[in-house]
Structure 1
Amino acid sequence: MNSMLLYFIKSAISMALFYGVYRVFMEKETNHTLNRFYLVGTIILSLVLPVLPLEKLFIIESYQMPLLFISGEQGIASAAIEISNTSGAGLSISGIFLARIIYLGGIGILALTLIAQMVRLFFIRRAGKERYGQLTVISVVKNILPFSILNRVFISQETREDPKLNTILDHEHAHFRLMHFIDLFLLEFITIFQWFNPIVWLYVRSLKEIHEYQADAVVLQGGEGTGTYQALLVNQLTGTEVFRLSSAFSKSLTKKRMIMMTKIKSGKSAWMKALIAMPVLAILLIAYAANSPAGIAGEGDYIVKGKVVEAETGDPLPGVSIIWQGTTSGTVSDMDGTFVLKVNDKDAVVVYSFVGFTTAKTTGEGEYTVKMDTKVYEVNTDYNPGKEKAELANEESPEKEPIKTSEPEEVFYVVEDMPKFQGMNPDACIAYVQENLEYPQKARNKGIEGKVYVSFVIDTKGKVTKAEVKRSVDPLLNKAALKAVNSMPAWTPGKQRGKAVQVQIMVPVEFKLSATDESKLHTNELK
């Protein structure tokens, strides 16, 4: 699913649940300060929750192995990739593209109307200006509802002559002193970018109601009679709204507002009702963590699958690390080189890495044949007659037994901190193995060459253990490859979540006849 669409869905669900708690349990309470901060806090929380790395707070285990975190594209080279699924030619407008156009159009309309209101407010005809405490009172010619923006109050000339003008100004001063303009600017920004979400508009309506409740309470606490104040509100109903980012004196006059003026102030029970939102928050945290792209490996909406092969020979490559870049989701290729990976992003970048081969990557869902190029290592394999006797003796010697350890049975393939060979990446071990490889003379004489794949485990102390041949060429070459691998010095062990763990690695060991060997072999064949 498109990541932006998923974000909007998650934020809408969060807003709906939090707002539902407000409507059912808190709306009728008179603790307006609590209600105000609850609404502002939960709408911000609803916007932030979907993008938090919640999988780090809730460790959710799955049946797949722990996987490596890929932080960037450094060291990634191009590889030959064949894509088996192709789309037809021609231009088509997808549903997602059309939805984006509509979404951006809605943003544009709201932004333009806001700008138009600001321009109209700037050019509105003014009849005078005076000070009232911290406020600047501006009289305008047009018949408008009294409203305030920051410390500026706009009133009509008719309102200026009202004997209750001071009460109106006290009401607007309460809006300024309580900094309601911060809420209005925040909600306006959210509304522009989530104009399609009806819950956002409900938040705006409820928050503006609370602003009026608070301003009304300040005026009534100042000694104004409830009856005369309500009559004043009714008298100010006529007029037009000029600017939606303002606090209007009687714009939100409703039956609820009238009732709220006469209700007894809520006690401590209102705070207890607000705590009902905590279980909602806990449910959202766990749900979003479980559905995070970096949460449970193997859950997603799009499939990346195919086969990884060696570019030179076309042979399948088993044990290739296949990671969804930027996450901890991934898998490894099977013995026949096949793999299946589920991702939550249609355009996900998948990275393919294997010791001894150039790293490759693909972009987007689909079925791929990934051809990986072999890295070249220069190795001296010239014929040396003096070694023949020693090599023959080595061939007859029993194969070295893997070191038995008491480490846990679990073996990782890829971890957060991969093992390092002599302070370098695992690739460095290839050069060591090739340099210390003894080419059996019998194999030379028979013209046997090829690539032996050997897997081994780096235990928690960095020792090479459990070396075994995964793909054989000839028993002679197998023994030589195992001997070279087992001769490696200790590694720096791999770590998962800061703890040393066993990590399995597979390397290709190449036996290639030199020009001298091939010449002698050709001469012997002629004889």
Structure 2
Amino acid sequence: MSNEWMIYLLKVSSVQAIFFLFYHLLLRKETTWHVRRGYLLTTLLISWRIPLIEFPHLSTIQEKIPTYSQNTIEWEYWEEPIQMLSTNSPDIDWVFNIYLAFVALMLIKMLISVVYVLFLKAKSKKVETYQQQVVYIHPSVHLAFTWGRWVFLSPELLEKQERREIILHEFVHRNQGHTIDLILSEIVCAWLWFNPFVFFHFKAIKENHEYLADQGVLSQGVDELSYQQLLLNTAFKTSFWEVHGFGNSTIKKRIKMINFSNNKNYWKWGLLLPYSLLILWLFSNNPIVFAQHKGETHVEQLGDSLFTKIENHFVERKGTGSFESLNKGELDFIFPLDNPEISSGYGYRKHPFTKKKKFHKGVDFKAPKGTPVYAVEDGVVIAISTVGADGKKKGYGNFIVIKHASGYHSMYAQLEKFQEDVLKGKKEIKKGTQIATVGSSGQSTGPHLHFEVKKDGENIDPMTVLKKK
């Protein structure tokens, strides 16, 4: 499971980095502070959701699956057969354990900060200030900072002439709930500590909070020039524990933004929609291709479009595909493998990736890569699908569908390669003929054969018809 989680984290990090680059290149000089706040927080959080979204790829495949007069089957490719074997190597587990150790350290550091603020509040003196607003006074506080609904001040600040402006600044942080943004951002930073862009993102959120607070102070009638002078005169080092402090942003940037004329280029925000759709298409989970085949619509799982470029194509069969030369007697299905060993049966099971209860429409047989796969009965090959050399795609991977008499169809998936005569167009297959070899193509964590049987278009438990050779 650790390798799947690590792949997911890499996708989340990639989405977050792309969203941040859009902000850095186009939006960081915009003066729409509240909109910027919404963008920074939303994109940081939605980066976790996008890799889990099933988003339809809207292109259409026009290749044809050959049809026959005997009711060509319509296979449903929604089910994702998975070999329930662990292939996590010790190296991967060690890396994952190191990753979790750093996550734990960062979360512990964050928890210590919260405990310290609670301790500070308990030891502080409660004082009413402007408009009966409550603040907390403690000698260890450097000037002023805000955490949640609590504003902390140093005793010296109450004696300063410019205390009103500083307190108003902290009240803006409190009233706009900036601490919530920072807590969520720090949690994300803890889980994505290996990604430098997430810390740039966090820094941008904090800077934007300061711009919002400065704007809030000036909107209450404070003189702009005197406020800028106050910023320059505030020689201040922020305490390690302080979440929002009056002097904790770069003074030069804040003064520059105060003097910035309204910079609202709405065309930049207009680019966000196609940009977001592109990210969604690239990183969404299991994009679907709608393929039109002679008036029928088949839906196929194709997998992650960025990390695995699918080269899925159907090999068109030659001829009409008649059953006249096949055995029309009683069907007697054999096992598709020698010495079969079942690793996942037919019916409902807990999906290893989504952890949701899902119906498994076939049987998984565990076998070494290269093990011969045999046709379970006489039949006609009606479809072959290949996914390319790397074989690490989602869905069924390399598979073959054979139509039998009496309304039966069998499908053999996750294959390594097909027999040459089958690949070159052999239609009629006799029972026991080798058609392919076991592989691990498609969504698979180990070599196995995923095998399905349909009767009159409905999936049935393959074990009810299989007999050993």
Contact 2:81 2:360 in 1 (8 A): no
Aligned to 1:36: 37
Residues 203 and 508 of structure 1, relative CA distance in 2, 3 Å threshold: closer
The structure 2 residue matched to 1:155, chosen from 144, 153, 167, is 153
Letter in structure 1 aligned against 2:173:
H
Aligned to 1:254: 251
Contact 1:144 1:155 in 2 (8 A): yes
Shift of 1:360: 3.6
Aligned to 1:284: 279
Contact 1:137 1:155 in 2 (8 A): yes
Contact 1:130 1:137 in 2 (8 A): yes
Residues 315 and 365 of structure 1, relative CA distance in 2, 3 Å threshold: closer
Aligned to 1:348: none
Question: Where do 1:195-344 residues align within 5 Å?
Answer: 195-243=193-241, 246-267=243-264, 269=265, 271-289=266-284, 295-296=301-302, 310=334, 314=338
Aligned to 2:356: none
The structure 2 residue matched to 1:166, chosen from 164, 167, 180, is 164
Aligned to 2:179: 181
Contact 1:11 1:50 in 2 (8 A): yes
User: CA–CA distance in 2 between the matches of 1:30 and 1:469?
Assistant: 70
Question: Where do 1:44-443 residues align within 5 Å?
Answer: 44-55=45-56, 58=58, 66-70=75-79, 94-124=90-120, 126=123, 128-132=125-129, 133=131, 135-243=133-241, 246-267=243-264, 269=265, 271-289=266-284, 295-296=301-302, 310=334, 314=338, 360-362=363-365, 366=369
Shift of 1:412: 7.8
User: CA–CA distance in 1 between the matches of 2:125 and 2:195?
Assistant: 41
The question of 1:21 aligning with 2:22 is answered yes
Shift of 1:283: 1.8
Residues 163 and 363 of structure 1, relative CA distance in 2, 3 Å threshold: farther
Aligned to 1:441: none
Letter in structure 2 aligned against 1:39:
L
User: CA–CA distance in 2 between the matches of 1:260 and 1:298?
Assistant: 41
Aligned to 1:454: 405
Aligned length: 349
User: CA–CA distance in 2 between the matches of 1:62 and 1:131?
Assistant: 74
Gaps of 5+ in 1: 302-308, 328-343, 346-350, 354-358, 375-409, 414-452, 459-467, 474-490, 497-502, 511-527
Residues 312 and 17 of structure 1, relative CA distance in 2, 3 Å threshold: closer
What is the TM-score of this pair, normalised by structure 1? 0.54
Shift of 1:131: 2.6
Contact 2:55 2:286 in 1 (8 A): no
SS in 1 for 2:137: strand
SS in 1 for 2:160: coil
User: CA–CA distance in 2 between the matches of 1:123 and 1:62?
Assistant: 67
SS in 2 for 1:454: coil
Gaps of 5+ in 2: 66-73, 289-299, 310-332, 354-358, 385-403, 410-426, 433-453
Residues 186 and 368 of structure 1, relative CA distance in 2, 3 Å threshold: farther
User: CA–CA distance in 2 between the matches of 1:230 and 1:312?
Assistant: 80
Residues 282 and 156 of structure 1, relative CA distance in 2, 3 Å threshold: same
What is the TM-score of this pair, normalised by structure 2? 0.60
Once the two structures are superposed, residues 267-286 of structure 1 have per-residue CA deviations (whole angstroms, 9 ceiling, x without a partner) of 4x2x3211222222222222
Contact 2:172 2:213 in 1 (8 A): yes
Shift of 1:69: 3.8
SS in 1 for 2:221: coil
Shift of 1:180: 1.5
SS in 2 for 1:123: helix
SS in 2 for 1:361: strand
User: CA–CA distance in 2 between the matches of 1:253 and 1:313?
Assistant: 69
Shift of 1:493: 6.3
Contact 1:129 1:137 in 2 (8 A): yes
Greater Rg by CA: 1
Once the two structures are superposed, residues 42-72 of structure 1 have per-residue CA deviations (whole angstroms, 9 ceiling, x without a partner) of 22222211011224x6477597985444489
Letter in structure 1 aligned against 2:40:
L
Shift of 1:471: 4.0
User: CA–CA distance in 1 between the matches of 2:51 and 2:27?
Assistant: 25
